[in-house]
Structures are given as structure tokens and as C-alpha cells.
Structure 1
Amino acid sequence: MGSLFRSEEMTLCQLFLQSEAAYACVSELGELGLVQFRDLNPDVNAFQRKFVNEVRRCDEMERKLRYLEKEIRRDGIPMLEIPGECPEAPQPREMIDLEATFEKLENELREVNQNAEALKRNYLELTELKHILRKTQVFFDEMADPSREEEQVTLLGEEGLMAGGQALKLGYAQIDYDALVGPF
């Protein structure tokens, strides 16, 4: 295989290809690495070019792959990396399948991330409620203790204690907090 050094002998050629065979020919030439393409229409806007939609699709698939790779690396999942080896360009019909697969994987991963965030939020809320219930239970246990009548008078006043002695019997039940939220 040759290389494209500045001092290497080169030949300027112009190829005319049928549009049905253009993708396969350019793909093969690109994989050989012996060809340099020159833009013969530099004045044409990028959005007016013939294959702009295919380029956009490839850019979008690349974005989805970068997102998937970032999530894989974030979770510490090992990936198989083959140094120096580039895969062959897929055929146009394979591109449609790849595009659908990447779309499906991206949507599933985003949904999994949203569900994980919702579960974390629910867990933190339930843990907070569990602690509140425990503190409330301790408070009621202390208030029901007859040896703490001075604090009860301070909190409820004389009228509260004299109201039939029922002010402290609030009718609460013992709650199994670990069954509500689970262990830490």
C-alpha cells in the first residue's frame, strides 16, 4: 500500500460513475486509502449538495454512538477495542438497520436512566418519611411516659392534662418502619 506524502508521485484523475454504483466504488477507494478526493464544486452550499441527507444521517448515528459509548464508560462496562482496525463501510440497506438499532438503543437507555432517577428520588423521599415517622414515634413514646408529667404540663398546659386525662392518649399504633421502606 502506498501513502499520500507530499513528495509522492500522484496522478490527477476524474471518475465518472453511475449513481447506483457510486457508493460502492467510493467506499472501496476510501478503504484502500490511496485516493484523495477534490471538491469540484467549492461554491455550492453544503445544504445544496446531492448526498447531504446521507451525511446528516451518518452524523446523527455518530451522535447516538457517542452517547451510548459515554453511558457504557460511565457505568464501567468493559468494551472491546481493536486498535488500528476500521470496519468496512456498511451498504446503504445495512445503514437503515443500523440506524433503527441505534435509535432503539438510545431510546431504551434514556428510558432506563429516567426510571433510575425516579427510583432514586422515590427511595430518598421514602427514607425521609421513615425518619420522620421514627422521630414521631419517639416523641409519642416520651409523651406517654407518666414520669414526664412536668414536660407534658409545659407542652399541653394544665387544661390539656385536666381534659379527662385523654389528651395524651392519641390512639397511635406501633409502626414497623423497616417494612415501609426497607433496610438501608
Structure 2
Amino acid sequence: FIEEEVTKDEVEIKDYDEHIPAPQPKNMTELEANFEKLEEELLSINSSSKQLIKNHVQLLEMKAVLEKVHLLLDETLSTECEVVQEQYVIAL
């Protein structure tokens, strides 16, 4: 999974020419546990990010609808005011 994410995000991983010693076996368990925890956190972050993007799109759609309704209501109110004014002038 981590390799897929690194490749997808085009993260550059440098190759080392020098030898890097392997961790001691007693440290491997701790490193593996940390790695699994980080992987779980990354999965959670990705899921949250997707949900936030989805929510953002929905909010933008709602905003557009509300703006359209606002314009329609303003036009209706303006038209009704004109009709009332005309009726008032005719009544005089």
C-alpha cells in the first residue's frame, strides 16, 4: 500500500550507494508495529480526505442552488412591489 501511495504521489526515493545496516531483530518488531500504525493512519487520512472533497462539492452545489433561489425570490418580490405600486396609482 505504501509503495502505491509513494508511486501515485511521485515521491522521489533516493538510492544509496553506501551500505545501510539492517536493524537489529529486536528492533524489527517495533519498526513493523510503527509501520503498520502509520499505514492505518494514512488509510484513515485518505478516507477523510475523500469525504471532505465530497462534502465540499455538495456544499458548493447547495450554495449555487441557494443563490439561484435568492435571485428568483428577489425577482418575485420586485415584480410584486411593482404590481402593488401600479394598483395604488390606479386607485388614486
Scaled to the shorter chain, the TM-score interval is 0.7 to 0.9
Structure 2 spans left out of the alignment, 5+ residues: 83-92
Q: What amino acid maps onto 2:5 in structure 1?
A: E
Alignment of 1:1-184 (within 5 A): 67-82=1-16, 87-146=20-79
Letter in 2 for 1:73: T
**CA RMSD, aligned part only?**
2.8
Offset, 1:76: 2.5
Q: Aligned-pair distance for 1:86?
A: 7.0
> RCO (CA 8 Å, sep 6+): is it higher in 1 or 2?
2
Question: Residue type matched to 1:131 in 2?
Answer: A
Q: TM-score if structure 2 supplies the norm length? A: 0.72
Q: CA deviation at 1:105?
A: 1.1
Aligned-pair CA distance for 1:89: 4.4
SS in 1 for 2:31: helix
Deviation digits for residues 117-161 of structure 1, max 9, x if unmatched? 1110110110010011011011112212228x8xxxxxxxxxxxx
Aligned length: 84
For 1:122 and 1:133, how far apart are their aligned partners in 2? 16
Using the TM superposition, give the Cα deviation of residue 87 of structure 1 relative to its aligned residue in structure 2, in angstroms.
5.0
- Identity of aligned pairs, percent? 37
Cα offset, 1:73, TM superposition: 2.1
More helix per residue: 2
In structure 1, stretches of 5+ residues that fail to align are 1-66, 150-184
